[in-house]
Structure 1
C-alpha cells in the first residue's frame, strides 16, 4: 500500500479551501458534486485554483443569468460560471503590459 493521496483527498481539499462548508446543505452538495465533476474533466488544473470569491462570483453570475433568461441545463451552466469566474479573476490579477517608450 502506498501513502499517495487519492483523487478523493484532492477533491476534499479543493472543497475545504474553496469554502463550500459555509453554504447551506443543498447548495453545498451541489457545489461538491460540481467540483468533483470538474476535477474529473479536462478542467482539473483550473478547478484546483477554486477559492471562495470564485464561488461567490459564479453564484452571482448564475443568478443574474437566470433572472434574465431561461437556463435549460442549469448544472452545466453553473459549471461554466465557476470556470469563467476562475479564469476571469486570473485575468483581473494580471499586471498590465508596459511597452518601452510609453509613460
Structure 2
C-alpha cells in the first residue's frame, strides 16, 4: 500500500497545495482502489497494453520486443506484463501475438 498527503500533489488549479485541510490518500495496488476522505476510485488496466495507449495491438508486441533487445526505453505500461511476473518478456509478446491472432 502507498500513502501520501494531498498537499503533495493537486489535480486542478483550484486545489490548494500545502493546505492545512490536507487529507491522506491511500493507494492499494492489490485491489486497484485509491481512497481519500470523501472519495474512492477504482483503477483498471488493460492487460497487454504495453504502450499504455488504451489499445492492445501489434504495437504492444513490437514495444515488448524492443524492450527485450534494449532498442527502446523500458518505460512501459505495467499492463504489458501479461503473466504477472512484474517484467516484460518474450512470454508476454508471444501471449499477445496469440491473442491478436484469434
* TM-score bin, normalised by smaller chain: under 0.3
Q: Which has the higher strand share?
A: 2
TM-score, normalised to structure 2, is: 0.25
Structure with greater contact order relative to length (CA < 8 Å, sep ≥ 6): 1
